[in-house]
Amino acid sequence: MSVRSEVGSGATSRHTGSLFAATAVHRDSDGNSLHAPVLVLNASYEPINVCAARRALVLVLKGVAMTEEENGHFLHAARVAMRVPSVIRLLEYRRIPHQSRALSRKNILLRDRNMCQYCAAVLPSSELTLDHVIPRSRGGSSTWENLVACCHACNRRKGNQFPAEAGMKLMREPRAFNLHTSRHIMRLMGRSDDKWRKYLFY
């Protein structure tokens, strides 16, 4: 089974899925604790992904991974209380293919760190849009290299023009996700969790 299908997908085994479905779940102090990000390590302790705490618990229950660090929250079930992980490690080493991510609005904003690539304003996702550097009406395609995060003001100013025509300049050249980009995003996400730092080589 590939790392992508095992770690990144929402699919679970029938046994594990029924365990969650049949369990009365109560979270101690944070109603979003099962959505908290969890760092996923390969068996070699190399950071390879980030998933939600719920997915991490499924991997632990399936015997695919073990908890290395905990986030201080508990999942309370009828007969058991489980600590919610902050870092998990796969029990078997998985060869990681070319690091890639699906092209999506969420991943473009992640890559650009929620920063407008024209004016450098850092904004919530709801206040950003995507801009085609080369407008679609002028032959531009929806690719990693032609989509950037953009605030609404800059988007209106640029309109149907090339950046140079609008007197605008990109902060950086847009590129597809690669291992460096993924690792950088993991570090950014890990700033709020000190337990991640020793695995991300701060």
How many residues make up the chain in this entry? 202
Helix, coil or strand: residue 146: coil
Across residues 147-159, what is the average pLDDT? 97
Q: What pLDDT does residue 25 have?
A: 41
By CB atoms closer than 10 A (0-12, 13-18, 19+), residue 15 is exposed
Indicate if the alpha-carbon torsion angle 14, 17, 20, 23 is positive or negative: negative
By CB atoms closer than 10 A (0-12, 13-18, 19+), residue 185 is middle
Summarised one tens digit per residue, pLDDT across range 99-147 is 567 788 988 998 898 999 999 999 998 999 999 999 999 999 999 999 9
pLDDT at 98 over 70: no
Q: In whole angstroms, what is the distance from residue 145 CA to residue 6 CA?
A: 29
Q: Which helix (H) or strand (E) holds 34?
A: none
CATH class of this structure's domain 105-158: mainly alpha
Q: What pLDDT does residue 30 have?
A: 47
pLDDT at 16 over 80: no
Q: Which spans in the chain are helix H? A: 3, 14-22, 53-61, 105-111, 152-158, 179-190
- CATH 1.10.30.50 in the chain: give the residue spans: 105-158
Across residues 8-35, what is the average pLDDT? 49
Across residues 30-51, what is the average pLDDT? 84
